[in-house]
Amino acid sequence: MTNMFGGAFKKGLTDFNANNGTLLMVIGFFIMLFIRIYLVKVAYNSIVPKVMKDDDVYRLTYLDALFVVILLMR
């Protein structure tokens, strides 16, 4: 009974090419990086003016958010 459980999964792993896996992992990394950059930019630009009670505070650009994400990435 347990031999039938992972049959399709094991066959799928043998057909999976290592180069495709590396490419998918790199693409996934960049997608997650861009999502983090967007979230940092939106969160900072919406929260900081309210906390500082001033509309003339510095707003983050995408490049600034990229540096914040790289700085805080572990």
Would you kindly state where each structural domain of the chain is located, as residue ranges?
A: 18-72
pLDDT value of residue 60? 94
Q: Could you give the CA distance from residue 61 to residue 25 in angstroms, rounded to a whole number? A: 27
pLDDT value of residue 10? 57
Average pLDDT value over all residues in the chain: 84
- 3-40: pLDDT as tens digits: 555 555 555 555 556 678 888 999 999 999 999 999 99
- Residue 50 phi/psi, 5-degree rounding, is -75, -40
Collapsing DSSP states into helix, strand and coil, what is residue 74?
A: coil
- DSSP one-letter code for 57: S
Look at the block and give the residue holding tokens 């290592």.
Answer: 18
Q: What is the pTM of this model?
A: 0.69
pLDDT value of residue 71? 95
